Structure 1
């Protein structure tokens, strides 16, 4: 009896989640966040941190929050947050300038449609030796 009751409640919740909400159909599909930044940048030059946000074929233009966190490898405590603005068609961006050579990590913090996704990408800024690059990639494995 308890199993039947649980099954019925789960069915009601599933049907409730698939109903239309204010004219917009609620989707349980995860949002897809793709960072779109060149892997190598120049020291002291302005460049855009960018990310595309989608849910299935739908470009997300109503994200609740899109923040970029950027920090030098090994120094996350001194990282900086940059608030992104919606440009068009699910593209969010924020300008940034980095003043020191090194390997940086960029993490997009995207909250949209009751979901939170945080992909990360590395960026090489300025002059970074092959030894530094190899050590970084070995540590990541």
Structure 2
């Protein structure tokens, strides 16, 4: 009789837990709102554009990142499709909502900024052009 009760309880537990197990787990890393501009003020990109003058000197990027503990991201700057700068950020705490910002001195040409996971998978990217002053 005790075995029958134990089996019934175990079956009820497994049945009750099944819907919870079937739900998708939150992504370990999400990136949204990647943008480039001439500055960052109060947590927002300033001077957002697709084309900048080299006279600006610096372009900033900003993205919203949600990450679980131990996850890392890379911000990769590319000029004419070649990597010219890379920064790695590791998130040590629990799930974190984070404004990721970076800057790069720029020259005329075709540029892009990518946010990648640790394996190098591009999670978000934005392209822009820098014109001669």
* TM-score where L is the length of structure 2: 0.51
State the match for 2:6 in structure 1. none
Q: Which runs of 5+ in 1 are unaligned?
A: 1-10, 19-26, 55-59, 128-141
Q: Summarize deviations over 1:67-107 as a string: whole Å, max 9, x none.
A: 2111123x42x432134598x94211122111x20111211
State the match for 2:58 in structure 1. 46
Q: Radius of gyration: which is bigger?
A: 2
Residue 108 (structure 1) shift: 0.7
Question: 1:29 aligned to 2:26?
Answer: yes
Output the CA distance in 2 between the equivalents of 1:93 and 1:85: 14
* Alpha-carbon distance change, 91 to 106 in structure 1, aligned in 2, over 3 angstroms: same
RMSD over aligned Cα, in angstroms?
A: 3.8
* TM-score where L is the length of structure 1: 0.48
Residue 64 (structure 1) shift: 2.5
